[in-house]
Structure 1
């Protein structure tokens, strides 16, 4: 089916209004989505930077201009919180945000340089000159929690101004399997080798277009030697001496907390 950008079809079953990585929801409710009226008002006042109607899932989504006044009836909810609370509309919100990001950076044909328009028969964009079709792209990435004798390997990224320690992660390179990407990223960033690599779960992470595949692995050999341009610090942590970890809603949080629950069952040592 298609993405329709036609003002005659302004609202589907759900309406998603975004400002950067935040979603507009109704005040005084449990993250209830707004109806068509705020979207239509923003259309009238030219507050919308881009929008779409997704015929596959019957929702309308729009990216608002910066600093649009929304009044006391609404508030901005971080999109991460939508994942953390597992809202019933989390999938559609993730898809909508990713498609808006894709449309924003996919305006011109990479072959001839002419403008792209929305396809009428599927989720794609078509060059008005050479008719080349462009489809939404995904950037596959892995994220992995490594364990050694009940302790967790967590790292602090050098490019982030934060004290949060998280799981190791990286993008899949051409020709790699997910498992080989796991082994390579761990070896490159910390110098250790792992074994027993196993898939856990996945998560759409539309910031802007990642598909995260979560893994667990066990330490095999080697001492930590960080890749300084990527990692500022990496250590083995026990449950009793954990650093600040990612917030709920992220796949890293899920991997870490599930491993800690297993630690409780296994009676791990409390020493770091």
Structure 2
């Protein structure tokens, strides 16, 4: 907070006012999202809540899609911070424990913020509205996934998990993973990256389905199913012995 205030002090009064208005617009937009759903987040509704005209709001965001994309990027970063905080109660070198804590925190955040999660990944997500993701969204999304990538990389280095033999992956898959390794500077064998990606998709996909209501046809409580998949993921990563079924609020109590 102090750092932000110091930064703000270096801005002109006009720029400070502009940034304050942008923050207020985003706060109002998020309030509408949480209270009424994505369909209520319109420039007209925001301007009405703020006592502004719609054209005045457009001076800060050139389009409705730009506003949603910026809000989405903010939420990605918020989730990443929440996941990091869930890990910080555990030692830095406890990669298995921190990975389990982060997975549970992701599900918990999603269930507690269903509409925000829907903005990130539901049918109303900006990518479903207006084409390709912006650079801002891509960077924010990587911040979100980077925590899990780092945890799995640390796990590989401290407790190498079983992977396919070198050269055994399908050539097209190998080429894509090699590009990912170069683009995101992931210093791991592509066979390890393949396992990491499979585990991430498994857990992340399950959380998405539950939070977005796609498991309601079968489950009214997805917790036991999630824990089963988490336990199996730990086995895949060679750390099944670190898993315990109980998931209390204090992640430090979740491990043997």
TM-score for the superposition, normalised by structure 2 = 0.29
TM-score by length of 1: 0.28
Higher helix share: 2
Q: Which structure has the bigger radius of gyration?
A: 1
